[in-house]
């Protein structure tokens, strides 16, 4: 089993993260100005490289913008490394490093991979929001971290 770890991304990782995101969805990457968002997340120290045996296989953007709770904004594993347990372990690491006692995230109804991965990490369904993506409601999930520290 590979050793999974997280490393805070630096500006030197920008091209790598942009590449992961571009390969995920080229249209969204451009239309949603994801390069700008990635650059900001890196400079705000909210972007983490996911390493499998020290090889970069994806990234996760994690912040506290959702009602001051831990919030997984986006997690992406490079396609050839998906389905090997890496996403589950990376989200588990995020939950451990979270400074609040709950982590929230959301995904589309159509994204069954993410829903399965979240269930495996121990996330519970929190609710559904219609109207964001037409015909594909956003499902919210949360997990208690047992971490009693405050954010600051
Ligand atoms: C969603 C994602 C982060 C999950 O990470 P992952 O490393 O692939 O997930 P894991 O290998 O830890 O798998 C967890 C479960 O998801 C399901 N799953 C993951 N990849 C799968 C695949 N390619 N095909 C079918 N099921 C899959 C499996 O049920 C798996 O459980 P199992 O081990 O019992 O089979 C990853 O698939 C990904 O990057 N997807 C594209 C980007 C995305 O949708 N991000 C989430 C939106 S915020």
pLDDT in tens, 103-141: 999 999 999 999 999 999 999 999 999 999 999 999 999
Q: Ligand 1 atom closest to Cα of 84?
A: 11
Could you give the angle at the alpha carbon of 18 between the alpha carbons of 136 and 133, nearest 5°? 10
pLDDT in tens, 35-64: 999 999 999 999 999 999 999 999 999 999
Give the per-residue pLDDT at 76: 98
The pLDDT confidence band at residue 150, using thresholds 50, 70 and 90, is low
Ligand 1, atom 26: closest residue by C-alpha: 113
Tokens, residue 86: 């890496």
For residue 103, give the nearest of 147, 53, 138, 139 by alpha carbon.
147
Task: Give backbone dihedrals phi and psi of 84, rounded to 5 degrees, phi first.
Answer: -115, 10
Q: Ligand 1 atom closest to Cα of 117?
A: 14
Ligand 1, atom 10: closest residue by C-alpha: 85
Record the pTM.
0.94
Q: What domains sit in the chain, N to C, each tagged with a CATH number?
A: 4-144 (3.40.630.30)
């Amino acid at each position: 089993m590979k050793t999974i770890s997280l490393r805070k991304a630096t500006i030197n990782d920008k091209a790598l993260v942009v590449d992961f995101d571009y390969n995920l969805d080229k249209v969204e990457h451009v239309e949603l100005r994801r390069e700008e968002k990635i650059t900001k997340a890196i400079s705000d120290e909210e972007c983490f490289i996911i390493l499998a045996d020290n090889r970069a296989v994806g990234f996760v953007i994690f912040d506290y913008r959702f009602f001051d709770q831990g919030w997984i904004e986006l997690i992406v594993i490079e396609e050839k490394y998906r389905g090997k347990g890496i996403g589950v372990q990376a989200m588990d690491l995020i939950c451990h490093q979270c400074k609040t006692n709950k982590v929230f995230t959301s995904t589309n109804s159509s994204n069954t991979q993410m829903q399965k991965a979240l269930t495996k990490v121990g996330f519970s369904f929190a609710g559904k929001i219609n109207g964001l993506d037409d015909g594909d409601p956003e499902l919210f999930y949360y997990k208690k971290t047992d971490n009693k520290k405050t954010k600051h």
